């Protein structure tokens, strides 16, 4: 969340960060966010608050909390969601957009403003507001309920501030692709205490990575989703390369 908001802010977007911890929000507003990228630290000032009503009504809300906090985050951000506000989850995991829709659109009658997507980004915190980036890649987004015009409009707006943004119609496949990459990379790097890139350097780890990809792809297909239109192992290994220095 800190990394994405800081990058958007310094690239010209008007950003406000909503936190659930008042003391941290106050600290971030006063001190800014420190980003480490390409060997150097830099400071980015981002407006931050724990009071959603004071942030106004944005064009776009981006949800970047852990999946287990999605429901409570949705309740918190209600005052920020106006009739024309789009809500985009770029979270890891499956089921996040459904949770947002259940909380923010309980009647299910109006046109859904919920969008879903993925982001390739290696980021680690080194204290409050200190973020070390180890890879920043594309954003892929779409409308899981079929409002492709809304998705395209949001993608075009984000593309003004982010290097690569793509709107896709089959966004469920994109969500599964990210979940498969995480299911393969994160357990191995955590258990062996190695950065992502090491999985490609050690034959045994690379073999385990490939087996995990194959198993996760089988689960996706059993769920009715064909997640990749290219070789899935090559795709996940590509994520390892892009985020080679990242520690899960």
Annotated catalytic residues are: 178
Classified as helix, coil or strand, 245 is coil
CA 73 to CA 43: how far, in whole Å? Answer: 27
Q: Backbone phi, then psi, for 229, in 5-degree steps?
A: -105, 5
Q: Find out whether 173 and 25 touch, Cβ atoms under 8 Å.
A: no
Q: Find out whether 67 and 93 touch, Cβ atoms under 8 Å.
A: yes
Q: 144-150 — which CB contacts under 8 Å span 24+ positions?
A: 144/97, 144/114, 144/115, 144/116, 144/171, 144/172, 145/101, 145/112, 145/114, 147/111, 147/112, 147/113, 147/115, 150/86, 150/113, 150/115
162-192 residues labelled b (16+ CB within 10 A) or e (exposed): beebebbeebbbbbbbbbbbbbbbeebbeee
CA 37 to CA 94: how far, in whole Å? Answer: 29
CA 180 to CA 211: how far, in whole Å? Answer: 11
CA 152 to CA 61: how far, in whole Å? Answer: 16
């Amino acid at each position: 969340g800190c990394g994405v908001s800081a990058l958007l802010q310094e690239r010209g977007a008007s950003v406000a960060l909503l936190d659930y911890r008042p003391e941290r929000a106050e600290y971030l507003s006063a001190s800014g966010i420190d980003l480490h990228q390409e060997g150097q630290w830099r400071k980015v000032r981002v407006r931050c608050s724990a009071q959603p009503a004071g942030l106004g009504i944005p064009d776009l809300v981006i949800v970047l909390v852990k999946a287990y906090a999605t429901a409570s985050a949705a309740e918190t951000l209600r005052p920020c969601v106006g009739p024309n506000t789009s809500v985009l989850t770029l979270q890891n995991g499956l089921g996040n957009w459904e949770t947002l829709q259940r909380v923010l659109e309980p009647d299910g009658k109006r046109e859904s403003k919920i969008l879903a997507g993925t982001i390739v980004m290696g980021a680690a915190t080194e204290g409050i507001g200190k973020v070390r980036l180890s890879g920043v890649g594309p954003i892929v987004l779409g409308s899981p309920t079929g409002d492709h015009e809304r998705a395209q409009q949001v993608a075009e707006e984000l593309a003004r501030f982010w290097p690569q943004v793509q709107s896709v119609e089959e966004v469920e496949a994109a969500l599964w692709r990210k979940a498969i990459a995480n299911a393969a990379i994160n357990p191995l790097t955590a258990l062996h205490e190695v950065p992502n890139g090491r999985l490609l350097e050690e034959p045994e780890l690379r073999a385990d990575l490939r087996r995990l990809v194959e198993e996760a792809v089988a689960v996706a297909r059993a769920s009715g989703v064909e997640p990749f239109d290219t070789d899935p192992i090559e795709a996940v290994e590509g994520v390892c390369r892009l985020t080679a220095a990242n520690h899960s």
